[in-house]
Each structure stands twice: as structure tokens, then as C-alpha cells.
Amino acid sequence: MNPLAFVPLFLASIGRSTLGLLGVVGRLAIFTAETLSHVLRPPFYPVELGHQLLRIGYFSLPVVGMTTLFTGAALALQIYAGGVRFSAETVVPSIVAIGIVRELGPVLGGLMVAGRVSSSIAAELGTMRVTEQIDALTTLSTNPFKYLIVPRVVAATLALPVLVAIGDIIGVLGGYLVGIGRLGFDPGAYIKNTLDFLEPADVTSGLVKAAVFGFLLALMGCYHGYNSGRGARGVGQATTNAVVSASILILAANYLLTEAFF
Amino acid sequence: MAPTPKIALQDVWKTFGEKTVLAGVSLSVAPGRSLVIIGGSGTGKSVTLKCILGIERADRGSIRIDGTEIEKIDRRAFLRHFGMLFQGGALFDSLPVWHNVAFRLRHGRQPMSRRDARDLAIGKLRRVGLGPETADLYPAELSGGMQKRVGLARAIATDPEVIFFDEPTSGLDPIMAGVINELIRELVTEMGATAITITHDMTTVHSVADEVAMLHGGVIRWQGPVAGMETSGDPYLQQFIHGRAEGPIETVR
């Protein structure tokens, strides 16, 4: 068969994929705009917001804490291994702190919470869609965006900076424990070295990143769950798509924000 | 002069992708009457209800409530006087039974106090044959029949003017189905509500309906009083109500 015969098929498949992608981007943009438009307009559901803050924020604390603790500890060992080659092992405390606060705390915290929360939101809303609970909300004069989506998105946006701030402290503590126990640093000198080189902008840039990541991971969970297909397969697909898209968006947004704060 | 229908559909069309589900549906129901829509699976009964509620948007045609096009009515005001029993119950599984029943009262513009809402919910639960001990259970702890009753209690919580019942007896044993049918008939008569029920179950049709409409091929094949079904002469209706395999409705074997 003539190989040129495949060219139109190839171009057609590229065209279909492009149109599909543009369709998803458009639907997501409309969903985001609708969510934001409901954030400031009453009625508000403070009890629901409180539940979501507890669920997304408080219950994610162990996951974020463990992640940053071990990351800080490993980071201290790696920086020491590199620093010792040109007699710069004293930079371990400051580089651990800057690395955790500016980059690893928000990114790893965001990814871990995405795995835990985006999937859970997508599965919950997907099941509500399949079992007609979302339609039932509408018939009970309750806007599903206001009752289901806004509390989750707002809660994640507020909770992530707090989670990451706590995670930053635990991550620095992980580096401190390894620095003192394994690498022979003086405790007072380690803390002084950490604080002397850490600037307020390092902390605030990390917390701004965390808020953006929180917004993105909840939005992805809500979008995929709310638009879930039918049956167990549809809900499963929505859950997978929520985690994958939230993780990719977090990493992409991290690069853009790092460029912005550079 | 005939009263303005509570709900009237005229030449309503709805397509999903390439599949046309409603191809010019026209039907009406008078205030205080109970209309049952029958038809096979996938004939668009649920889509018809969703179009009336605005959950799905009809591609074309006219849907009127009290003589006014649905685009022009205050949808929130309409929904305040509306109740619906969903096929699977659609109870919120994160909330206890009493909160499900009193959901609208707790989340309206002027929310009722927790104690008053709970008391009212217990009253409605009693009306559908459930004791106060069920109020604090969660939906997952209830049997299918009890979930239907809770769904019914939620549908009547605000004494609505219009109630929709979507397959109210599906998945229930014949005795429980009979109980639910009786409850629906009693509640609709008691409240003077306008009701639309969709079902496959002919026992429900005979228990609940003042009028019957049969949906097939995207259109209403027949609409008339329940007593007129047997003598209608419409071959589609006759095949459906007698459950015959032979007839104009194609069956997949």
C-alpha cells in the first residue's frame, strides 16, 4: 500500500485530537469561571466549608508531615555529600531550608494532597452524579456549585498554605535531626545558619505556590467528579483523570510560578 | 373552558449526540391531577422529566408551567413548591435521614432551626410509615424500601404543589411496591398536588394514575384516562400494558 495514503489519516487524527483538547480546555475554562462566580455570591455554606477544611486540611497533615520530614532528612544527606567535595558542607542547613521552603515543601505537599484529596473529591462527586444526588440537590433548590464545589475549592486553597507551612517546619526539622545526629553539626549553629540565610520572600513564594496548588487540585477533583461518566467505570476514570491532571497542572504551575518569583 | 394545564409540553425535541430521544413530545397535566408516563426502557421518560425541571435543556419546543414558558418563570420559586422521588432514592449518604428529609428547610433562604427541622422531618417520616428511630440513621443503614420511604418523605417535606415520581417501585418486592403505591396515591390526594410518575409497573399505573401517557419512539403515542387504556385500540399501548412479545414494539432477543 502507498505510504502516502496514511498522510490524510494521520492529519485527521491530529485534527481530532486538537479539537478534543480544545473542547476540554473550553469546558474547563467555563467550569472554572462558574466556580469563581459562585465564590462571592450568596448563599454561602460555612458548615460545609468547615467540614472540607477539616477533611482536606487537618486530615492531610500526617501525609504532608511524613513526606517533608523524610525529604528534609534525605536532602541534608545529599547536600552534605555534594558540599563536602569542595569543602562547603556548612551550607547544608541553609540549602535544606531554602530547598524545602521554596520548592520541595509546596510541590511534594501539593502532589501528596492531590493524590489523597483530588481522587477522593472526584470519587465522591462522581458517585453523587451517578446516583442522581446532584440532580436531587437541584430539585431541592440548592445550586450544586455553591453547595459542593465552592466549599471544596475554597477549603483546599486556604488549607494548602497552612499545611505547607507546617510541612516546611517539619522538613527543616528532618534536615536538623540528620545534621545533628548523623553529620555532626552543632545544634545552635545549625539553627543560626538556617535562620540567617532564609528570607521572608522564600517563605511567601512557597505559600503562594501552595495556595495555587490547592486551588488546582480541588478544581480538578471537582471538574472530573462533576462530569463523571456512568457506572463504576466512569467514576474510576474520573478519579484517575483527577489525580493525573492535578499532578501535571501542579508541576506546570510550579515552573511558571518559580519563573515569576525568580 | 378547560383550566390552564399545570404543566404542558408542546413538540419538545431532545438529542444526545446523534441519538434523538424526544422527537416532538406533547402532553399536558391539569392542576391536581396525577399523570403516569409509561414506556419501555430508554424511551426518554426520565429525559422528559429532566427537561421540565431544567436539568436538561430541550433542543426545541415549548414547556409551560401554569401557562408560562419555563425560560420565563422564576425557577427557584417553582422548585420551592416542588418535590421529587428519584428512582434510586438519591439520598445524600453523608447526612442522617432526618437531615435528608429536612434538607430544603435547613438550606433555604431562611433556614429553619435544627430542632424544628428535625421535628418536622420526624413527622414526615411517620407519615410514610417510619418511626422516629430511623431519623438518626444514615441512608446506607436502610433497606431499599425504607430508602424509598425516606425519599418520599423528602419529596413531601414542604407540601409541594408539584411532585415527580421516577420509577417509585423499581427494585421493591410486590408488597413493598403496593405500600409505596398506596402512599403515593394518598399523599397526592391529601395534598391536592399535581403529580407526574414514570414507571414500567402496571400496578403502579392502576394505583396512582388519573391519566396515562405512553411514550414510544420519541413521541406520546397515546394519552387518556386510566380507564380508557383497555379500550384504546392503540396497538403500541395494548402490547405494552399486556406485556406481549408480539406487536409493533420491537424487542431485542
- CB contact (8 A) between residue A135 and residue B82: no
Q: What's the ipTM?
A: 0.85
Q: Which residues of B touch A136 (CB under 8 A)?
A: 84, 86, 90-92
Best probe of the A interface among B95, B107, B164, by most A CBs < 10 A, is B107
Whose CA is closest to A167, among A98, A97, A66?
A: A66
Q: Which residues of B touch A133 (CB under 8 A)?
A: 90-93
Mean pLDDT by 10 residues, chain A (262 residues): 81 91 92 94 92 95 96 95 87 93 95 96 96 92 94 97 97 96 93 91 95 97 94 93 96 96 82
Q: Which strand ranges, in their side-by-side order, compose the sheet holding B34-38?
A: B82-85, B162-166, B194-199, B34-38, B211-216, B219-225
Cell triple for A179:
545534621
Alpha carbon distance B154, B107 (integer Å): 13
Q: What is the mean pLDDT of chain B?
A: 89
Whose CA is closest to B10, among B30, B31, B25, B29?
A: B25
Q: Which residues of B touch A45 (CB under 8 A)?
A: 107
Apex CA B79: angle with CA B73 and CA B85, to 5°?
140
Q: Is A87 on the interface with B (CB under 8 A)?
A: no
Q: Which residues of B touch A142 (CB under 8 A)?
A: 103-104, 107
Q: Is A42 on the interface with B (CB under 8 A)?
A: no
Whose CA is closest to B170, among B194, B200, B147, B196?
A: B200
Is the pLDDT at B243 greater than 90? The verdict is no
Query: Cα dist. A256→A163, A212, A250, A260, A262 in Å?
Result: 22, 11, 10, 6, 10
Least CA distance to A133: which residue of chain B? B90
Q: Which residues of A touch B92 (CB under 8 A)?
A: 133, 136
The pLDDT value given to residue A88: 85
Query: Cα dist. A172→A93, A102, B13, B100 in Å?
Result: 8, 12, 63, 46
Helix/strand number for chain B, H first, E second: 9, 10
Percentage of chain B exceeding pLDDT 90: 48
| Single-letter code of the amino acid located at A142 | T
- CB contact (8 A) between residue B107 and residue A140: yes
User: Which alpha helices (H) appear in chain A, and where do they start and end?
Assistant: 6-39, 46-52, 61-83, 92-98, 105-113, 119-130, 133-139, 144, 150-181, 187-197, 200-226, 231-261
Listed as own residue / partner, the contacts of B171-176 with beta carbons closer than 8 Å and 24 or more positions apart are B171/B144, B172/B144, B172/B145, B172/B148, B173/B145, B174/B203, B176/B144, B176/B145, B176/B148
Least CA distance to B111: which residue of chain A? A43
CB B40 within 8 A of CB B216: yes
Least CA distance to B83: which residue of chain A? A139
Dihedral (CA of A36, A37, A41, A43) sign: negative
Ranges assigned E (strand) in B143-230:
162-166, 194-199, 211-216, 219-225
CB B34 within 8 A of CB B205: no
Least CA distance to A130: which residue of chain B? B90
Q: Is B111 on the interface with A (CB under 8 A)?
A: no
Least CA distance to B90: which residue of chain A? A133
Q: Is A46 on the interface with B (CB under 8 A)?
A: no
- CB contact (8 A) between residue A135 and residue B87: no
Is the pLDDT at B76 greater than 60? The verdict is yes
| Single-letter code of the amino acid located at A249 | L
Alpha carbon distance B10, A148 (integer Å): 34
Q: Looking at CA atoms only, how far is residue A179 from chain B in angstroms? A: 46
Q: Would you place residue B253 in the very low, low, confident or very high pLDDT band (cuts 50, 70, 90)? A: very low
Q: Which residues of B touch A131 (CB under 8 A)?
A: 88, 90
Q: Looking at CA atoms only, how far is residue A145 from chain B in angstroms? A: 14
Least CA distance to B166: which residue of chain A? A132
User: Which alpha helices (H) appear in A40-118, and where do they start and end?
Assistant: 46-52, 61-83, 92-98, 105-113
How far is the first Cα of chain B from the last one, in angstroms, to the nearest whole number? 48
Q: Is A147 on the interface with B (CB under 8 A)?
A: yes
B29, β-bridge pairs: B7
Alpha carbon distance B247, B239 (integer Å): 6
CB burial of residue A114 (10 Å; 0-12, 13-18, 19+): buried
Residue pLDDT, tens place only, B150-204: 998 999 898 899 999 998 888 788 888 888 888 888 888 888 899 999 998 889 9
Whose CA is closest to B6, among B26, B31, B32?
A: B31
Dihedral (CA of B60, B82, B134, A120) sign: positive
pTM: 0.87
- CB contact (8 A) between residue A141 and residue B108: yes
Q: Is B170 on the interface with A (CB under 8 A)?
A: no
Whose CA is closest to A228, among A145, A127, A107, A97?
A: A127
Is the pLDDT at B251 greater than 70? The verdict is no
Least CA distance to A134: which residue of chain B? B90
- CB contact (8 A) between residue A132 and residue B79: no
